[in-house]
Structure 1
Amino acid sequence: MLKSSFFKYISLVFSFWMMVQVYACQSPKQKPDVQKPAIIEMLYQDTSEATINQLKALLKEDEHLFRWKTHFVVYGKGLDSALDDSLKMRFPEAELKQYDDLFYEFNRSYCTDTTTARDWEHILLTANLVADTTLQNEYLKYHATQFKEWPEVSKGFCNASFQQLLLFKNGRQLMLVISIPKGKTLDELNPKTTQNNPRVNEWNKLMSKYQEGIAGTTKGETWVFFNSIK
């Protein structure tokens, strides 16, 4: 009797296992929808209101438009080839550049207070790396080890309530995204990065030898701010 019950139990377990395997084959695991931040830059001579309205019409609600001179920039998460194709079709004479090489990312997980603001404002800036490839590699290495070797820098970002700070690269050109709580300004928050924190000044001075302004900047100008287009 005991032997018969044991075999019935084994049979039930095996049947259940087979059902699980069949279901697993029929229902493959869904891949997580990870949307990475990215930037598309469009160089276009026509900066009229008509151009701006055409660009706005192509964007999703959570995609943001910026401009500096003839440089238009779209920043968002999960920017796909459909937007790139639409821009090429609508603006065939424009030069498009993709920035999906995100080589540095600060977020609130590096802070003692990991709380994030509900709504953010995004500030975009751009600059070039210098032409010397040895210096370019040094710059990238400094950023790869910054959290370990220069923890005071991320501490400064935490003190300033920065929500995130992203650095993208396409060739020599850099794109910097600073996200702050909505309703605050960078002029208000940025001084807090260096308050009682001289190492941040040292970092900024060190980084200055690796960076220069893009075409169209004035002499001595390095990072330029894009204007947000609402």
Structure 2
Amino acid sequence: MEIKRYCYSCDLKDDSKLIAEYKAYHAEGKAWPEITKSIKDAGIVDMQIYLTGNRMFMIMEVDATFDPVKKGEMDANNPKVQEWENLMWNYQQELPWAKEGEKWIALEKIFQL
């Protein structure tokens, strides 16, 4: 099975209380089950989020069924995902170079060993 990797970045609001709350929502077993199901249903086999300061990095490993456009459509049509995304906007903010309403920005791979 071929696995492909996608990497993204997003900022949190620079507020220690909000960052702690965001981390609590993402602690093991705390993400809403509908959200983890939607992630898996899209062909995402592993997802990890790392944090430094208020900058986050997400690494997704996906199988051959994953299509980012289809995932966006699935999310847009899933009321529970939309509820989660709206809640997360209380904590997240766009990167300075993001387009209006754009959260997670794809990272450009510039080195590989």
Q: Percent identity?
A: 25
Higher helix share: 1
Contact 1:159 1:192 in 2 (8 A): no
Structure 1: gaps (5+ residues): 1-117
Aligned 1:136-155 pairs, distance under 5 A: 136-144=19-27, 147-148=29-30, 150-155=32-37
Contact 1:160 1:190 in 2 (8 A): no
RMSD over equivalenced CA pairs, Å: 2.5
The aligned counterpart of 1:168 is: 50
Contact 1:122 1:180 in 2 (8 A): yes
The aligned counterpart of 1:158 is: 40
Contact 2:44 2:66 in 1 (8 A): no
How far residue 123 of structure 1 moved from its aligned partner, in angstroms, is: 1.2
Secondary structure of the 2:80 match is helix
- 1:217 and 1:132 map into 2 onto residues whose CA distance is 20
Secondary structure of the 2:97 match is coil
Task: Select the structure of larger CA radius of gyration.
Answer: 1
Tell me which of the two structures has the higher relative contact order, counting C-alpha pairs closer than 8 angstroms and 6 or more residues apart. 2
- 1:133 and 1:139 map into 2 onto residues whose CA distance is 10
Aligned partner of 2:43: which letter? S
The TM-score normalised by the length of structure 2 is 0.79
Structure 2: gaps (5+ residues): none
